[in-house]
Amino acid sequence: MRLEKTIQELRDILTESQRAANQEKDDLNETIDSLRANLHTCDRSSSALCIQFADAQRKVDGLIRIDHALEQMHQCESLYAQGRIQGAAEYLLGFADVVHEDVRANKFIIGWLSGEFRRPILR
């Protein structure tokens, strides 16, 4: 009888150990699934951040070109006002070279040039 009880106790211990092992396995699988989901979310977030950064960089680049264009316009107007027509013409030619690079920056130049050409050349 004692041997049967020991065998049953061992079976019970084995069954309990298997249950505990299965529970741990299930918990680990849940953790792995959760980590995979988080990793996937991080990948999407990282991609979205990269896209946002690239968009922001394009906007900054455009603003820098606009600022540069405004400086060139001011310089050209100053040269023209000082009677330095050749220097102003060189800036105008520079504007013509820049026009194909960035439409957003150059819409200011084009608007300014169209305004300049509408005014009489000799003031």
pTM summary value: 0.44
Has residue 86 got a pLDDT over 70? yes
Q: Is position 123 within any domain? A: no
In a domain, 110, yes or no: yes
pLDDT band for position 122 (50/70/90)?
very low
* Per-residue pLDDT at 104 exceeds 70: no
In a domain, 102, yes or no: yes
| Mean pLDDT, range 58-67, rounded to an integer | 80
pLDDT tens sequence across 24-48: 888 888 888 888 887 777 777 777 7
Residue 39 resides in a domain: yes
User: Is 51 domain-assigned?
Assistant: yes
Question: Is 21 part of any domain?
Answer: yes
Range of the domain at 78: 2-118
Domain count, the chain: 1
SS (H, E, C) 43-99: HHHHHHHHHHHHHHHHHHHHHHHHHHHHHHHHHHHHHHHCCCHHHHHHHHHHHHHHC
pLDDT in tens, 71-82: 877 888 888 888
Evaluated on CA atoms 56, 57, 60, 62, the torsion sign reads negative
